Amino acid sequence: MFGRTGQVARELARRCPSGMEATFLDRQDADLSDPAACAAVVRGADADCVVNAAAWTAVDRAEAEEATATTVNGEAPGAMAKACAERDLPFLHLSTDYVFDGTGTRPFVPEDPAAPLGAYGRSKLAGEIAIRASGARHVILRTSWVVSAHGSNFVKTMLRLGGERASLRVVDDQVGGPTPAAGLADALFAAADTMVAGHAGGTHHFAGAPDASWADVARATMQAAGLSCRIDPIPSSDYPTPARRPLNSRLDCSSFSRNFGMERPDWRSGVTAIVNELQGATR
């Protein structure tokens, strides 16, 4: 598995099913800024399946460093997938709601046209295109708003700020499916099992339920943590960022459920589990 320290990779390591062996590769083992080296790792691996849980995720920084982001998110996954095709190994890859433009209010289905708003989305779309062109049996799994007790994410930021301030202003016109990394790890294991058994794969969506705004997630975090910090909703225009964010990040996950037998995880229970883990670690 490409990735060791990211949110999803850490949950993959923690939740690896009994009887399954998984090797996790960090940057020293496989640098995604060197696509050829990543392909060489795949060619030499003793594996039944390859999972790419590593990526450039600095959305705003990608606006100024698009070439590097595209190498990591586009060229490297394409090289991995080509090497998988040579060996007839299934390839699983995480993508993002940012490949869509975020218009409308209905959930995006996998077949909807991609129209990314910024450099990060374009880099992830480049990876999708390269994987589909590789000839490998693959699953491209688009997700959104990943949260966990690891790394940097929205829940951890809200928990820290909520303990310091009486109120926070949080965007409420961006709506999507917050996704616990633990649930996403389980989804990847389910897809890997099915792919190794011969499933054809394809592009699918997997995100938490129910759909919510960032302000909703902030309120749930405060409630789970027992914090009195008030959440004041604001529009995205009041919180400008270098990269435009999709207003509609809703993802239709029904095809993943049909093909791999997993329903969307409840992000609210996921947030409670994350907060409990983080608070337990500080006691």
CA 206-174-140 angle, to 5 degrees, is 25
Instruction: pLDDT tens for the chain, 283 residues: list them.
Output: 899 999 999 999 999 988 888 899 988 898 999 999 999 999 999 999 999 999 999 999 999 999 999 999 999 999 999 999 999 999 999 999 999 999 999 999 999 999 999 999 999 999 999 999 999 999 999 999 999 999 999 999 999 999 999 999 999 999 999 999 999 999 999 999 999 999 989 999 999 999 999 999 999 999 999 999 999 999 999 999 999 999 999 999 999 999 999 999 999 999 999 999 999 865 5
The per-type count for the chain, helices as H runs and strands as E runs, is: 11, 11
Render pLDDT for 135-168 as a digit per residue (tens, 0 to 9).
999 999 999 999 999 999 999 999 999 999 999 9
Within 45-92, residue ranges assigned H as helices are: 59-62, 66-70, 76-87
**Where along the chain do its domains lie?**
7-153+178-209+250-266
Residues 194-218 have pLDDT tens digits of: 999 999 899 999 999 999 999 999 9
158 membership: H or E segment, kind and range: helix 154-162
Is the bond into 242 cis (omega within 30 degrees of 0)? no
State whether the Cα torsion 70-62-209-252 is positive or negative.
negative
According to the model, what pLDDT value does residue 283 have?
53
Active site residues: 120
Q: How many CA atoms lie within 13 A of 126 on its CB side?
A: 20
For the chain, the average pLDDT equals 95
Residues 6+ apart with CB under 8 A from 44: none
With beta carbons less than 8 A apart as the criterion, state whether 229 and 166 touch: yes
Q: Domain 7-153+178-209+250-266 maps to which CATH number in 3.40.50.10440, 3.40.50.2000, 3.30.700.30, 3.40.50.720? A: 3.40.50.720
